[in-house]
Amino acid sequence: MPELRSVAVNGVELNVALAGSGPAVLLLHGFPHTWELWTDVMAELSGRHRVIAPDLRGFGASSRAASGYDAGTLAEDAEALLTALGESSAAVVGIDAGAAPAFLLAMRRPRLVRRLVVMESLLGRLPGAEDFLADGPPWWFGFHSAAPGLAETVLEGHEAEYVDWFLTTGTLGDGVRPAVRDAFVRAYTGRQALRCAFSSYRALPESAAQIAQAAATARLTVPTMAVGARPVGAALERQLRPVTDTLTGHVLEDCGHIIPLHRPRALLTLLRPFLAGDEARAA
């Protein structure tokens, strides 16, 4: 089992899972996940890396912050976490809501981010995702970001059923291990937990503006890998291609949105050589 530690960063307390030793790898989860999204990936990577997997602010056992759910602030949290843990650089991996802060961290602090992996997300309104968005964004984006308190009021008392829908859909019907499922349900039960989870959706316009500004003023210079599955596919890679110096793209077939739990072996097959290239460059 990883070590769990509470780390004070950027005005909040982050619950952080730590495992292994070596070059740091920072893993940023999305919705409706906690650090336990990465359980299988951490077990494999910790043989060669110091793996750092926080609950994002407001999620899991981290502080239920009143604000700061935009991608820029989450990137600042990640930077402060690496500093607090004594890491001068890291490979950064983000999925879903964790992809945008991972991207902004790499854009703003390229010397801190040795390599970047982003998965199953869109980066604001950057060009390239038009086909994916032809029928509009996924329905829950509007529901989560509607009038403050609406989604919480509707879902309070029914959190388990709601989380189960995302876990089943995100694994193409396969579901996840009961222990992981139960951990996710606990993390998203209660009005304050729901408020924090939906705050990242309510901050999407601010996050999109931050992403657009970063892409308009700089290029992504760190080696980057985009990994898609269902439903995002290659849309993220297409968004990144015009602004990234060194980009590798992959789409995992027969894989749902929750890649680290649904197809961890396939993901590790991509991650290991990508991270090994980072080690070779540092040698």
Q: CA-CA distance, 187 to 15, in Å (whole number)?
A: 12
Distance CA 21, CA 93 (A): 17
Q: What per-residue confidence (pLDDT) applies to 277?
A: 80
* Burial grade of 164 (CB within 10 A; 0-12, 13-18, 19 or more): middle
**101, 75 in Cβ contact below 8 A?**
yes
Query: DSSP assignment of 161-196, as one string?
Result: HHHHHHHHHTTTT----HHHHHHHHHHT-SHHHHHH
**55 contacts: CB under 8 Å, gap ≥ 6:** 14, 15, 16, 29, 34, 35, 61, 62, 187
* pLDDT at residue number 147: 83
Please give the Cα distance from 94 to 28 (Å, whole number): 5
Predicted pLDDT at 1? 85
Mean pLDDT of 254-260: 98
10-25 pLDDT per residue, tens: 999 999 999 999 999 9
Edge-to-edge order in the sheet of strand 24-28? 3-9, 12-19, 50-54, 24-28, 90-95, 113-119, 224-228, 247-251
- Give the domains, in start order, of the chain with CATH numbers: 3-132+206-282 (3.40.50.1820)
For residue 9, which of 98, 92, 73 has the smallest C-alpha distance?
73
Distance CA 223, CA 117 (A): 9
Residue 196: CB partners within 8 Å, gap ≥ 6?
57, 58, 59, 64, 65, 69
- Residue 171 has a pLDDT of 98
Q: What is the per-residue pLDDT for 278?
A: 60
The answer to whether the beta carbons of residues 180 and 264 sit under 8 Å apart is no
- Other beta carbons within 10 Å of 238: 20
**Looking only at Cα atoms, what is the longest distance across the chain?**
54
Percent of the chain residues topping a pLDDT of 90: 96
pLDDT at 283 over 70: no
pLDDT in tens, 50-76: 999 999 999 999 999 999 999 999 999
**Per-residue pLDDT for 282 more than 50?**
no
Q: Which residues pair with 4 in a beta bridge?
A: 17
Alpha helices, DSSP H, located in 12-145: 39-45, 71-84, 99-108, 139-144
d(CA 29, CA 34): 6
148-197 residue pLDDT tens: 899 999 999 999 999 999 999 999 999 999 999 999 999 999 999 999 99
pTM of the complete model beyond 0.95: yes
- Assess whether the previous peptide bond of 32 is cis (omega < 30° from 0): yes
Beta bridge partners, 118, equal 94, 226
> Is 281 a residue whose pLDDT tops 80?
no
Confidence category of residue 134, pLDDT binned at 50, 70, 90: very high
